[in-house]
Structure 1
């Protein structure tokens, strides 16, 4: 076997760093392609590190948008940071154009960079003589399928932001090539991503991983279930009103389909059911453990985040000397009100038992798992977010603007005095999304069938909502399609809060113009003696310019340098 002394110097830094963390960028500008894809490297060490570099392009969603969660640009939260120029506020107030869209969401170049690296891998891995096999496939073929999965994921991230985008195939363009490519149609892009998922699904790892030792080493890698889940999610988006019947430019194939087809909903339901029929994944018994317990049965694909307590120190409530927090995320009153009662009934239902003087009592347990509110247990104390309270001192200290703090993704620190390290992986695909996606797609294609009820009930049961009479978990018997749609949309809001779901859901459902063109609200709690008075307050005036804001503008530079690049309508 070849002596690798000539490349050790170039690789030593990567190997040192990657020993603990797989997602590190491979320095392709310093190592020649023939050294990465080496015909004498039978273990494929260099090629594998290059693949790790492609994984690193995946985004970790924890406070990734100018220090905020993307949900702070939706109706579920606002940023606690002062001023109108932080990225999430710019997005929420429609204060951007094709040149000024915040960098953390201007991801055109980022994802096309990932696509290029994936193409490099796909085109060159064949020369590496890897001997290992997995499930009958050469290990290098499995790696190639992983690169194709990541490429499909990058395309999906582009399509949901921009609509149809240029498809590169396996081509790696050089400086001498004509790269003035036009955009492919939305339909072309959806078909391409779906076809890639179908092509690779049987040559990826299979969950659950066979050996316990493989969990830590390989759990970040996509499986057959990951590919099927990505396909299902892509088809769900494609079937949604924004693209299927509600195209913002009705005759424009770049911005969606040019006609409605109910069969798209049926196809999405079939794709979701294919994941469910694997019988490999299941809802974790405890909702909050999904995000802090690694290798659990609900995770279909995730981005490694390492161990730490950065979520707590960035978003935790202020006022604790032994555990710092700067309250970066302020959940809105609209989000809090979306959580039903523990009996499954909406707080607006007069029979629900909701008490305006005790608004957090007997609520859906997911409220406590997502939001820290006045009186909640945290760090061995009872949280005070009333005016002048421990965690709302009304000083110059950054603190909640809405009366609420983020709870999701944090460790179990209700009865401890300090924060400690825990997993901060970012879950990209999880089984609950498939279950609710199935319910949504089947409801749209066939109405509120028993299968739709069963799917929604399973989510509510896991959440801790009481079964109630007839084990309906608060659901009305005999709902219409429209009534069930409202339930499913609200269920998604409660289940996936802060997971970069709501921001995209209100767009694909084409309701952003309704929910974003009204003020974000919070609560001002005034303590008088032993009594608390809850007063609604407006905390931010948000804006959504319809229809243009349903899709992002193609970056200004891309349109300027490419005469074949058509801009999205209105930009």
Structure 2
């Protein structure tokens, strides 16, 4: 495995050195350096232009503990932060933010510096900065006579231009899913002398633009499998463009935007009508990725996040080879460290079925409340529970995690520790039988193949009168990979002949357990328009009391969350609305 983020950073440093320290023969002061030296018609290697493109890649967010040290999922019903004080994810989940105070690390609209504080200077990190930089690259790369071509014969500079267009489409989608319609800039690169008091484009136009960009660039991007995966695995491929299109269409077809617009006549906050065909379009887009025949589910669920270049990854944001995830989220009480920032909720734990595929609420499942994690009894729980969650008795570092009151990882001393009786296990290396932490890739997987399968299943279920074999197949494939037993019927615990509503509930739960902590749940409960129900219930955990060998499991409430209708979309930052009379605020903010 290779540390690709270091590679990108090194190239960026070299690029900055090139721009800020001109050759001795170029007697120009630093403040006079212009884009000519980036997009140089004499630079046949395209070194400076490629360095600029790397800077755009660097704006893509790394999701690990991204929001001031927490995962975004800690602002959903799947987890809470273990930290004390004023916690941004807790403010989000308790309706404690406004258009002036929205947490900087989740405020993708405004510029930030390296610390994530909104600023007019510092390291570009807002997605508008990314869009502007992409436009600069797209409009100026044409003058650079870059030699070479892709394995499919596309000139290198056109491949690079398409990569910038992909990044721009991705930035737009990330803004649209948070804010609704946003201004569409086209290829325009605005200067200080331009009037930038632009209105927001409609939600429909934004989705149309993102989809059209993905269609336009897909055939000029690299194709999977990559010829040089170690060097290029961070670059978007044809499959990545098609997968981004599928994600955008799935969101657009979902109730929040298609038929459930929070402001029904407002084209900025969603469609002003419902069209069932939008689900059909989403299903077709997902099926197109499936029909490429190039991606497949990794045989090992944990391996998706640990091994680079596996067949399930479609697009990643590269990160370090390290044990950083363990250091920030691992259970406390171990000599190797671990501050346990993330406390998964009982609600998430309860959503994992038994290994026979039946939910724990089903009397036939075999669930034992006295041994809830099936540590000592059978049947076992869904193996994804062990892959995602540290619970009392989980194997780790040649011993087991103790989250009972007074246990090694729940000492109840003046120490940050789990609030819920659980720690996050996902993304961590295979250190169960090791005395020390095992280093591994910590790449952030932005798009993976399991998403395509679930997207197809969800969209097809909404199109069909009742779920057919094509819907069941995606779920059985995912469950089979997870380690669910097929059962005598081969249905992997799925009830045959489900209604559309029953299948919808199953699919939504499968999204939850398959993609825990991957920044899906936070947005899924919004796009499904169920957040008002699930987020107005208290977040719970478990207090385990150990007397001799006997464990007693007591439910506890750890946080009262709150959700109002306005929270389905983020507020446009106050500064943007104040300085631009054409910028309409989202409802309720």
TM-score by length of 2: 0.92
Residue in 2 that maps onto 1:40: 42
Q: Is the 8 A contact 1:552 1:568 kept in 2?
A: yes
Residue in 2 that maps onto 1:357: 370
Calculate the aligned-residue CA RMSD, in Å: 1.3
Partner of residue 413 from structure 2, selected from 385, 395, 399: 395
Residue in 2 that maps onto 1:117: 133
Equivalents in 1 of 2:327, 2:200: separation in Å? Answer: 43
Residue in 2 that maps onto 1:9: none
Residue in 2 that maps onto 1:442: 460
Equivalents in 2 of 1:222, 1:19: separation in Å? Answer: 15
Any gaps of 5 or more consecutive residues in structure 1?
A: 1-15
Partner of residue 342 from structure 1, selected from 348, 352, 355: 355
Q: Is the 8 A contact 2:137 2:164 kept in 1?
A: yes
Residue in 2 that maps onto 1:61: 63
Partner of residue 533 from structure 1, selected from 530, 539, 552: 552
Equivalents in 1 of 2:341, 2:11: separation in Å? Answer: 28
Residue in 2 that maps onto 1:129: 145
Residue in 1 that maps onto 2:251: 237
Equivalents in 1 of 2:504, 2:8: separation in Å? Answer: 47
Can you list the C-alpha shifts for 1:237-291, whole angstroms capped at 9, x where unaligned? 0000000000000000000000100000000000000000000000000001000
1:155 aligns with 2:172: yes
Residue in 1 that maps onto 2:326: 312
C-alpha distance 54-72 of structure 1, shift in aligned 2 (>3 A)? same
1:461 aligns with 2:462: no
Residue in 2 that maps onto 1:257: 271
Q: Is the 8 A contact 1:149 1:200 kept in 2?
A: yes
Say how many residue pairs are matched.
550
Residue in 2 that maps onto 1:202: 219
Equivalents in 1 of 2:71, 2:385: separation in Å? Answer: 18
Structure 1 counterpart SS, 2:209: helix
Equivalents in 2 of 1:198, 1:382: separation in Å? Answer: 50
Can you list the C-alpha shifts for 1:322-349, whole angstroms capped at 9, x where unaligned? x100000000000000000000000000
Residue in 2 that maps onto 1:410: 428
Residue in 2 that maps onto 1:79: 81
Equivalents in 1 of 2:239, 2:154: separation in Å? Answer: 17
Equivalents in 2 of 1:71, 1:61: separation in Å? Answer: 10
Partner of residue 278 from structure 1, selected from 272, 292, 297: 292
Equivalents in 2 of 1:392, 1:551: separation in Å? Answer: 37
Equivalents in 2 of 1:22, 1:268: separation in Å? Answer: 38
Equivalents in 2 of 1:22, 1:286: separation in Å? Answer: 33
1:482 aligns with 2:482: no
Can you list the C-alpha shifts for 1:426-450, whole angstroms capped at 9, x where unaligned? 0000000000000000000113111
Q: Is the 8 A contact 1:25 1:54 kept in 2?
A: no
Equivalents in 2 of 1:69, 1:25: separation in Å? Answer: 32
Residue in 2 that maps onto 1:292: 306
Q: What's the CA shift for 1:136?
A: 1.6
Equivalents in 2 of 1:81, 1:121: separation in Å? Answer: 41
Any gaps of 5 or more consecutive residues in structure 2?
A: 21-29, 111-125, 375-379
Q: What's the CA shift for 1:22?
A: 5.9
Matches within 5 A, 1:409-428: 409-428=427-446
Equivalents in 2 of 1:305, 1:127: separation in Å? Answer: 32
Equivalents in 1 of 2:36, 2:7: separation in Å? Answer: 21
Q: What's the CA shift for 1:23?
A: 6.9
TM-score by length of 1: 0.95
Matches within 5 A, 1:178-197: 178-197=195-214
Structure 2 counterpart SS, 1:470: coil
1:215 aligns with 2:225: no
Equivalents in 1 of 2:356, 2:279: separation in Å? Answer: 30
Structure 1 counterpart SS, 2:191: coil
Can you list the C-alpha shifts for 1:288-331, whole angstroms capped at 9, x where unaligned? 1000100000000000102111100000001112x100000000
Q: What's the CA shift for 1:466?
A: 0.1
Q: What's the CA shift for 1:32?
A: 2.1
Structure 1 counterpart SS, 2:415: coil
Residue in 1 that maps onto 2:566: 548
Q: Is the 8 A contact 1:309 1:421 kept in 2?
A: yes
Can you list the C-alpha shifts for 1:175-209, whole angstroms capped at 9, x where unaligned? 11110000000000000000000000000000001
Q: Is the 8 A contact 2:344 2:389 kept in 1?
A: yes
Q: What's the CA shift for 1:422?
A: 1.0
Residue in 1 that maps onto 2:93: 92
1:491 aligns with 2:510: yes
C-alpha distance 408-24 of structure 1, shift in aligned 2 (>3 A)? farther
Residue in 2 that maps onto 1:375: 393
C-alpha distance 24-185 of structure 1, shift in aligned 2 (>3 A)? farther
Can you list the C-alpha shifts for 1:516-561, whole angstroms capped at 9, x where unaligned? 011100000000111000000000111111x110000000000000
Q: Is the 8 A contact 2:12 2:52 kept in 1?
A: no
User: Segments of 4+ in structure 1 off by > 4 A?
Assistant: 16-31
Residue in 2 that maps onto 1:329: 342
Structure 2 counterpart SS, 1:133: coil
Equivalents in 2 of 1:228, 1:478: separation in Å? Answer: 31
Q: What's the CA shift for 1:420?
A: 3.1
Structure 2 counterpart SS, 1:569: coil
Equivalents in 2 of 1:25, 1:72: separation in Å? Answer: 37
